[in-house]
Amino acid sequence: MNNRLSVMIYLFFYVFEKGTNAMTVTSPTEINASLGSGSTIILNCSFEKETGERVNQLSWRKKNETGNEYRKIVSYYQSYAVYLDLEMKKRSNSISFDDSSPSVILNISEVQCKDDGQYRCIVEYINSNGIGMETLTETSVYIQVMAEIPEFSIQPANTTLEEYSAVNLSCSANVGRPGGMVTIWKRSISSDERIQLGSSSSLVTDNGNCSVYAQLLITYNLSRSDHGFIFGCTSKNRHTKNPAPSNEVGPRTILYGPSNISFEMRPNQTHYYVKDVIQLTCISDGNPRPTFRWKFNSTDIMEHRKYTFLSGNATVKFTIQYLNESGNYRCYVENYVNEKYMIKNYSITITVKEQNIILKPIATESCFRDACSFIEKCYENENTAVCSKDIWRIISLIFITLSLILGMATVSLCVLLKIQKRRKDYIKDGFNMGDGEGRNYETLGSRETHTYPSASQAVTVGLEERNYESLGNGMTDTYSSIDERALRDGEGAHYESLGSGETHTYSSIQPTVSI
């Protein structure tokens, strides 16, 4: 506590003795200038003093390129200036301060690269207590030089490269003043978006031509994602406006073997049946575009009427015909990368099942013999006839049987209706014909035809009764007139038949009398 109090008392008396530094000095913080005879640098330093203060001298000084020391360029006294840098005196002019203008100006023309740097304005004055004091301000001067187009190369220079191979990317450029950087990048041929791969960190300054050089070398491992990409380099500094100077090469073709192989199966099922249609598709990435070939178990699958290839052999389509088509289906994917043969494969197992299978061993190896019934299909499997129910044959057989039954029933019904109609007509004619009417009996007995041009039948007079039961087989008889006489009481006339094979013409038929 006592030590702290002692320090505070000492500082109070020191400040009281020396006085406070009330002088204020101002100058530009930063000045940017370009090279050339028409460009200038104006260093303006102004001050503001308090009552009782007196300015003795102002000076502009420049920091040495090496070290932290400042060298004096020009000193300003009231109303005049004194140059200490004679070379600067030749291409600059100065304005000193006076009571009416509390500032000094150093106007540098024909700006050179060496004018770039840190400047300091120092004011020397006497304070109100008569003590000599100094105060200062600093200004940074930047000589602007535009960045130039970089030199860029890629090794090896081949435009076609293999995946995972390494390339050396080199970029160098005059990045101008103030010192900037170079950046190596890549971009897609269809995009302006640049993906940065690296930037420079080493700078080399050449004050002779006011240049700052940057260089960058990186080793980059290529991947398939770099296919079609452009590689390039850009140089810039903080004053560079877009687009910055750039150089690029490309695009590059990246080769790689088959990869990312997958399988697509339609329909996707755990098992299949005979007559199912299957489509297998092999999917793979590769550059150049790979080719495809197929094997079933160990046998090459060739295109013919069973197998159909689509999409450059990437897809095979076929119909399952036999049970023995269960097995391993393998896809081979191939291409060449820089004359190197690249191959990969992918396989899948297919299970074929048959519904309602009946196995009937036969002596031959074919289905040409009558190995299966009419309602069965026949397949060959290891010298054995494989029979399975054919639902369509069964349906066809049922349909044909029903059609025959329906047809026979229809014909029988038509015949029955026709017979009934004839019977009705016959009965009607028998009861309605009178004397002298003609009747036509087309059929009497088997294969007989008799014509009665006039018959007085179906009439019973008194006790008469006549019954014509039949005529003999094979006989043809013509009765021009049948004289029906009145029978005596108790008599009955009965005509039973005529002899076979006889042909007679009866002008009058006398009934036989039965007592």
DSSP 295-324: EETTEE---SSSEEEETTTTEEEEE--SGG
Tokens of 350: 């297919």
Query: Which pair of structure tokens corresponds to residue 474?
Result: 């094979």
- Whether the pLDDT of residue 437 is over 50: the answer is no
Give burial (CB, 10 Å; 0-12/13-18/19+) of 275: exposed
Q: What is the pLDDT of residue 467?
A: 41
How confident is the model at residue 56, as a pLDDT? 94
pLDDT above 60 (res 189): yes
Confidence of residue 330 (pLDDT cuts 50, 70, 90): very high
Q: pLDDT at position 358, please? A: 55
Tokens of residue 241, six digits: 């406006």
Residue range 115-173, pLDDT digits in tens: 989 999 999 999 989 999 999 999 999 888 889 999 999 999 999 999 999 999 999 99
- The two most distant CA atoms of the chain are separated, in Å, by 202
Which string of b and e fits 342-357 if b means at least 16 CB within 10 Å?
A: bebbbeeebebebeee
Query: What pTM does this model have?
Result: 0.54
The answer to whether residue 249 scores a pLDDT higher than 60 is yes
The SS3 of residue 28 is: coil
Residue of 397 and 14 predicted with greater confidence: 397
Report, at the CATH architecture level, how domain 274-281+290-353 is classified.
Sandwich (2.60)
Confidence band, pLDDT 50/70/90 cuts, at residue 372 = confident
Average pLDDT of the segment spanning 343-354: 91
pLDDT-derived band at 347 (thresholds 50, 70, 90) equals: very high
| Interval 428-445 mean pLDDT | 47
Question: How many other CB atoms sit within 10 Å of the CB of residue 170?
Answer: 17
CB atoms within 10 A of CB 410: 10
Is residue 125 packed enough to be buried (19+ CB in 10 Å), middle (13-18) or exposed (0-12)? buried
For the ranges 165-169, 252-256, 386-390, 484-488, the lowest mean pLDDT is seen at 484-488
Q: Looking at residue 61, what is its pLDDT?
A: 97
* Percent of the chain surpassing pLDDT 90: 50
Q: Supply 122's token pair.
A: 């120092």
Arithmetic mean of pLDDT, 298-321:
90
Q: Mean per-residue pLDDT for 395-410? A: 89
| Residue-level pLDDT at 422 | 82
Nearest to 175 by CA among 219, 141, 206: 206
Q: In 207-252, which ranges are E strands?
A: 211-221, 229-236, 246-249
pLDDT at position 182: 96
CA distance 60 to 39: 20
**Average confidence (pLDDT) over 2-30:** 61
Mean pLDDT along residues 448-470: 39
β-strand pairing of 385-389 with 376-380: antiparallel
List phi, psi (to 5°) of 16. -65, -35
Average pLDDT taken over every residue of the chain: 79
CATH class of the 151-251 domain in this structure: mainly beta
- Count of Cβ atoms closer than 10 Å to residue 218 Cβ: 13
Q: What angle do CA 187, 192, 198 make, to 5 degrees?
A: 45
pLDDT at residue number 506: 44
Q: How many C-beta neighbours within 10 Å does residue 487 have?
A: 19
Topology, domain 22-144: Immunoglobulin-like (2.60.40)
Structural contact between residues 298 and 307, judged by C-beta atoms closer than 8 angstroms: no
pLDDT higher than threshold 50 for residue 14: no
Query: Could you tell me if 14 and 76 are in contact, meaning their C-beta atoms sit under 8 angstroms apart?
Result: no
Query: What's the gap between Cα 512 and its chain centre?
Result: 113
Which token pair is 460? Answer: 């019973």
Q: Does pLDDT of 255 surpass 60?
A: yes
**Rg of the Cα trace of the chain?**
65
Of the candidates 204, 197, 196, the residue with the CA atom closest to the CA atom of residue 180: 204
Residue with tokens 């009861």: 431
Q: Which residues contact 243 (CB under 8 A, 6 or more apart)?
A: none
Residue-wise pLDDT for 482-509, tens only, equals 444 444 444 444 444 444 444 444 444 4
Mean pLDDT, range 353-381, rounded to an integer: 63
Instruction: Check whether 391 has a pLDDT greater than 80.
Output: no
CA of residue 129 relative to chain centroid, distance? 88
What's the pLDDT score for residue 203?
Answer: 81
pLDDT at site 470? 40
Segment 88-100 shows an average pLDDT of 93
How do the domains of the chain map onto residue ranges?
22-144, 151-251, 274-281+290-353, 433-515
Average pLDDT score over residue span 370-375: 67
